[in-house]
Amino acid sequence: MRSIVPASWLAFLLLLLAVADLALADESFILATGRRDPRIYTIDFNAALKPRNNNTPNAIVSRAKVHPDRLDGTPVGDPANIVLSEDHRTAYVVNHHGPVNNAEFLQHGGRGSVSVMDVSRMLRPEFDNTDRAVERNYDSGYFGAVGLVVLPELLLVSHSENWLTEDGSNRVSIIDRKTGGRRAQIEMALGHPGHACPDFPVPFVSPTPPPIVPFEAPDPRFGCWPNPEFLALGHGSDGKTYLFSGNAGTDDVSVMDLHQALMGAPVVEIAPRIPVQTGPFGIKASPNGKFIAVTARESGQADFEGNTISIIDVDRARTGAPGAEAARVRVGTDDPNGQARPFTVAWTPDGRQIIVANYRTNNVSIVDVRRALAHDPRAEVARIPVTRPADADGLVRPGRPKGTAVTSDGRYAVVSGGPRLDPTAPPSGTVWVIDLRTRAVVATVTGVGNDPYGLTILEDRPD
């Protein structure tokens, strides 16, 4: 019996099935921070997966400003991190140095801010390059804001710097989501074993003169102030939730009693800190909250970048038990002395793999968690290079991956990166989409900000 479907139609149907296998649910988006470009870039995920859009900015839907412009028309802001609310209607954006002009402010230690943004407006092309998505902005409570955790009524914002310096912070602000008011502030202990610190009261008591701190890294005087970077929430077998911070200044990880912090106690570290290879930056809890993955990015005291991630056991960490660092895995390089500068991490939804963006080696690692916990030297099961097309000036610059996220079905990892260029340069950042089945880059979006950092994935468009 002859088929009633022509061969050309069969070929067309097979093509549709192949495309559908790559596609996500309708109206999925990537929201990427522009960092030195003070906008959030909204990228249509399915459009990014179309081959005709590869290595182009065509999938970009809109670019939402994170602060209103200055009166002279200068755009301001320094978006480094973004987290969605529970209903995905609101995006909270941390501006590392607040509403600064990146062409003027070229140092550390700016006052941080939080931008509260309407997600539905961020998705609308007619609001491209406007501040129409900004609902309000408020002060983050200290300097060099970076880490962000969203709680039902509050925000936790960590700060890694002091006034006009790269060193000198031990603060995590607790901010009211509705009013923007600072409800409390966590004050972390100073110093780490073998490093003497000047006398400075924790918790702070006035009058006390400002601390004397080094201006910027590397400087051997680093090591007194923890300078907390990203934050994560872990869950203990005792039913309690604990706050973890990666401390760039003291090369370790803190574990804090979240309940006590929310009761207003300023000093809530409950166990000895967990040392890691060098100063951490990215930190993320496993889906079940039992483990914390953290990157060893770089030292504040010496010109050294790390090449490992650590997996922290929450129960051992909260009790101060030996073996809290349950695993340490080299990533990005085969050279034990090689410098990979791992930036951030993301877990797959099943908790079996960790995705690592390696800034210096321009690749993305996939770490098998089971192998890592068994101390198998083959725990890094894949290393995927990320490359960029030529910039507007004709130069091909390194990928420099930084931000990481994974889709809810575990199919794709999304990574942001790109070099830091002059703020007046055309958008130079890149977003790569990696298929975690084939372990290959399947899409590259160009023209995404300038030195982009954090990003998130929106898989259900708000009503």
Lowest-confidence pick of 193-207, 368-382, 423-437 = 193-207
407, pLDDT greater than 50: yes
Q: Name the average pLDDT for the chain.
A: 94
pLDDT at 1: 35
pLDDT at 434: 99
Which is it for strands 274-275 and 228-235: parallel, antiparallel or unpaired? unpaired
pLDDT at 164: 96
Residue 227: inside a domain, yes or no?
Answer: yes
pLDDT at 292: 99
Residue 95: inside a domain, yes or no?
Answer: yes
Who wins on pLDDT, 286 or 211? 286
List the CATH number of the domain containing 203.
Answer: 2.130.10.10
Mean pLDDT, rounded, for 405-429: 95
Mean pLDDT, rounded, for 401-410: 99
pLDDT grade for 441, boundaries at 50, 70 and 90: very high
pLDDT at 194: 78
pLDDT at 99: 96
Residue 463: inside a domain, yes or no?
Answer: no
391, pLDDT greater than 90: no
pLDDT grade for 3, boundaries at 50, 70 and 90: very low
370, pLDDT greater than 80: yes
330, pLDDT greater than 60: yes
What span, in angstroms and rounded, lies between the C-alpha atoms of 453 and 388?
16
Candidates 229, 235, 260, 255; CA nearest to 243 is 255
pLDDT at 193: 79
26, pLDDT greater than 80: no
Residue 34: inside a domain, yes or no?
Answer: yes
Residue 7: inside a domain, yes or no?
Answer: no
19, pLDDT greater than 80: no
17, pLDDT greater than 70: no
Residue 162: inside a domain, yes or no?
Answer: yes
Identity (one letter) of the amino acid at 70?
Answer: R
21, pLDDT greater than 70: no
Tens digit of pLDDT for each residue in 258-281?
A: 999 999 999 999 999 999 999 999
With b meaning 16 or more CB within 10 Å and e meaning fewer, what string describes 352-390? ebbbbbbbbbbbbbbbbbebbeeeeeebbebbbebebee
Longest CA span, the chain: 94
20, pLDDT greater than 50: no
pLDDT at 5: 35
Lowest-confidence pick of 23-32, 219-228, 278-287, 379-388 = 23-32
pLDDT at 106: 85
Who wins on pLDDT, 408 or 199? 408
Mean pLDDT, rounded, for 307-312: 99
For residue 253, what are the domain limits? 25-458
Residue 107: inside a domain, yes or no?
Answer: yes
pLDDT grade for 40, boundaries at 50, 70 and 90: very high
Tens digit of pLDDT for each residue in 72-118?
A: 999 999 999 999 999 999 999 999 999 999 989 988 999 999 999 99
Number of domains in the chain: 1
Percent of residues, the chain, with pLDDT higher than 90? 87
Mean pLDDT, rounded, for 4-20: 38
Q: Whole-prediction pTM value?
A: 0.94
